[in-house]
């Protein structure tokens, strides 16, 4: 799921999304509640009309900002200071539901507390218990039948705590289930056992969503465990800094060695950028600061990652997942950055 933090995937518009064809696009509750405000989005018809894109949309709850911005957290909710003007804003589990209902996405997330890792066991346990309590409160007030509500499983890298939290979240009866608080500083070797423990308790007839993960190696390994949905700013952020993602790993396109290369970013990629433009041309645009360069590379990176997910889905259907996993691990394991 590409991330459109403020109502747009950076450098792209709704027509680009129509062409790329993602099943879901993310928007950020924290940023949209500050600017332009949930009431403004609602008055303009909700996120679909507001953004001009009719595909499925998901809004996060503001829980990631608990991790990234370090606000004041207590049992009742979170107090943020605006990144725009320094004003203070209060967000509770009930308030997060109300704001997301006004934004009008197809899927909304319950408010959670996402601790960074590594963290003291007591802090991880406290965040998990608070997330469970907030999930109960969100479930009670959510009443928009055309909008799904997902609960979030926390628990750090402890398989035992993840399993317990997953079971208790499932008991509340959400439309889908997310696994949060992973890929926040821990190595893959610690992430996967915790993820597997959570998946064990999540029902297979409901979507299972691993939050904030976009590295191809981690994505494929998580799919093998039973994950259905992912989001991450990785492909778009890398593009804006000149890094291409390809079947052979990732590389910095602004490097001088690509200046005269009359080949696509990835010769095996069927995206419209690889069909039309050379590495040398896109490198030129990036080096001179032409925004078109970042836009073209963003289209490629997203198209490539979406195609990988399609390939993984087909591999599952045809019994070739082990083969795809091995190929991705070979090119996207440690040391893939060139």
Catalytic residue ranges: 60, 231
Note whether 135 and 110 are within 8 A (CB). Answer: yes
Long-range contacts of 312-315 (CB under 8 A, 24+ apart): 312/219, 312/220, 312/223
Q: Which residues contact 85 (CB under 8 A, 6 or more apart)?
A: none
Whether the Cβ atoms of residue 181 and residue 143 lie closer than 8 Å to each other: no
First-residue to last-residue Cα distance in the chain: 25
Q: What is each CA distance from 307 to 21, 49, 246, 297, in whole angstroms?
A: 10, 27, 11, 15
User: Exposed, middle or buried: residue 8 (CB in 10 Å: 0-12, 13-18, 19+)?
Assistant: middle
**What is the number of H-type helices and E-type strands within the chain?**
15, 12
* Interatomic CA distance for residues 189 and 180, integer angstroms: 17
CA neighbours closer than 13 Å in the CB half-sphere of residue 127? 27
**250 Cβ contact partners less than 8 Å away, ≥ 6 residues apart:** 238, 243, 244, 332, 336, 337, 338
φ/ψ of 199, rounded to 5, equals: -60, -35
């Amino acid at each position: 799921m590409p991330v459109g933090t403020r109502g747009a995937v950076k450098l792209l518009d709704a027509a680009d999304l129509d062409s790329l064809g993602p099943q879901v696009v993310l928007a950020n509750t924290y940023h949209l509640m500050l600017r332009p405000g949930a009431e403004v989005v609602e008055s303009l018809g909700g996120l679909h009309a507001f953004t001009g894109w009719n595909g499925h949309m998901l809004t996060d709850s503001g829980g990631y900002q608990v991790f990234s911005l370090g606000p004041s957290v207590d049992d009742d909710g979170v107090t943020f200071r605006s990144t725009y003007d320094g004003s203070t804003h209060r967000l509770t589990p009930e308030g997060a539901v109300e704001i997301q209902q006004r934004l009008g996405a197809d899927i909304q997330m319950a408010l959670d507390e996402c601790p960074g890792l590594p963290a003291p066991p007591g802090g991880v346990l406290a965040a998990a218990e608070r997330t469970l309590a907030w999930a109960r409160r969100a479930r009670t007030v959510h009443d928009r039948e055309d909008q799904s509500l997902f609960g979030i499983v926390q628990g750090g890298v402890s398989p035992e705590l993840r399993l317990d939290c997953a079971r208790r979240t499932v008991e509340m009866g959400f439309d889908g289930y997310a696994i949060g608080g992973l890929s926040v500083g821990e190595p893959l070797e610690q992430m996967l056992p915790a993820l597997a423990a959570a998946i064990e308790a999540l029902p297979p007839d409901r979507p299972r969503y691993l939050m904030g993960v976009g590295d191809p190696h981690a994505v494929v390994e998580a799919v093998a465990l039973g994950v259905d949905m992912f989001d991450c700013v990785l492909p778009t952020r890398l593009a804006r800094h000149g890094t291409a993602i390809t079947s052979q790993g990732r590389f910095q396109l602004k490097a001088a060695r690509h200046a005269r290369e009359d080949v696509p970013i990835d010769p095996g990629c069927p995206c419209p950028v690889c069909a039309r433009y050379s590495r040398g041309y896109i490198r030129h645009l990036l080096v001179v600061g032409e925004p078109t360069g970042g836009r073209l590379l963003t289209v490629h990176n997203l198209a490539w990652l979406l195609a990988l997910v399609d390939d993984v889905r087909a591999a599952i259907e045809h019994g070739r997942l082990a083969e795809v996993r091995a190929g991705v691990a070979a090119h996207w394991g440690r040391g893939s950055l060139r």
